[in-house]
Amino acid sequence: MAELQIRTMADYMASGETPEILFWVGCAGSFDDRAKKITKAIVKILNHAHVKFAVLGTEESCTGDPAKRAGNEFLFQMQAMTNITVLNGYEVKKIVTGCPHCFNTLKNEYPSLGGSYEVIHHTQLLQDLLNSGRIKIEGGNFKGKKITFHDPCYLGRGNDVYEAPRSVMINLDAELAEMKRSRQNGLCCGAGGAQMFKEAEKGNKEVNVERSEEALALNPDVIAVGCPFCMTMMTDGVKHFNKESSVKVMDVAELIAQAKDL
**Which residue, 29 or 174, is less far from other proteins as judged by CB?**
29
| Least Cβ distance, residue 249 to other proteins (angstroms) | 18
Q: Which amino acid is at 178?
A: E
Give the residue with the Cβ less far from other proteins, 57 or 140.
57
Q: Are 123 and 252 in contact (CB under 8 A)?
A: yes
What is the identity of the amino acid at 74? F
> Closest approach of Cβ 243 to other proteins, in Å?
20
Give CB contacts under 8 A, 24+ apart, made by 89-95: 90/9, 90/13, 90/22, 91/18, 92/9, 92/22, 92/117, 93/117, 93/118, 94/20, 94/21, 94/22, 94/118, 94/119, 94/120, 95/21, 95/22, 95/23, 95/24, 95/119, 95/120
**Across the strands, what pairs with 250?**
224
Give the shortest CB-208-to-other proteins separation in angstroms: 9
CA 145 to chain centre: 22
Report how far residue 216's alpha carbon sits from residue 234's, in angstroms, rounded to the nearest whole number.
Answer: 10
As a whole number of angstroms, the distance between CA 109 and CA 63 comes to 10
Between 187 and 257, whose beta carbon lies closer to other proteins? 187
- CB nearer other proteins, residue 74 or residue 241: 74
Smallest distance from the beta carbon of 209 to other proteins, in angstroms? Answer: 8
* Residue-wise burial string across 103-124, b where 16 or more C-beta atoms lie within 10 A, e elsewhere: bbbbbebbeeeebebebbbbbb
Of the pair 4, 14, the CB lying nearest other proteins is at: 4
Closer residue to other proteins, CB minimum distance, 175 or 206: 206
* Smallest distance from other proteins to CB 66, Å: 5
Phi (first) and psi of residue 82, to 5 degrees: -65, -45
Least distance between other proteins and beta carbon 130 (Å): 25
Based on CB atoms, which residue is closest to other proteins, 197 or 241? 197
**Least distance (Å) between residue 229 CB and other proteins:** 10
